[in-house]
Amino acid sequence: MNSNNPDPGVARALALSEEILSVAESGNLESLESLDRQRLELLQSFRKATRQVAAADQALLQQIAQLNDRAIGLLEHQRRGKGRDLDMAAVGRRAVAAYSSIRMQR
């Protein structure tokens, strides 16, 4: 491709990256693995076929990297939130168990 026309595979990878970010924002992670696999295949194909990256492709690759960083950040934030929820549930279970045994002793 010339420097003005981006590679169609890279353009499709950018669209998939936008979709991945949308999925990460919504919290519906079921399709995330499939989307990421498709994007990886496109990027690997581009890498194998390209000797020198054109300016248009470089700009799209930069956008893909930025979207990927945002999606990873969102997913990490959700993972930490779930971890906090699980910790609080465990604290609640321990409290119920502790108070239940005291109440039964009376």
Q: Do 14 and 64 contact (CB within 8 A), yes or no?
A: yes
Q: Do 71 and 24 contact (CB within 8 A), yes or no?
A: yes
pLDDT in tens, the chain (106 residues): 556 789 999 999 999 999 999 999 988 788 899 999 999 999 999 999 988 999 999 999 999 999 999 999 999 998 898 888 888 888 888 888 888 776 655 5
User: What structural domains and CATH numbers belong to the chain?
Assistant: 8-105 (1.20.58)
Tell me how far apart the 2 most distant CA atoms of the chain are, in Å. Answer: 83
pLDDT computed for residue 106 by the predictor: 53
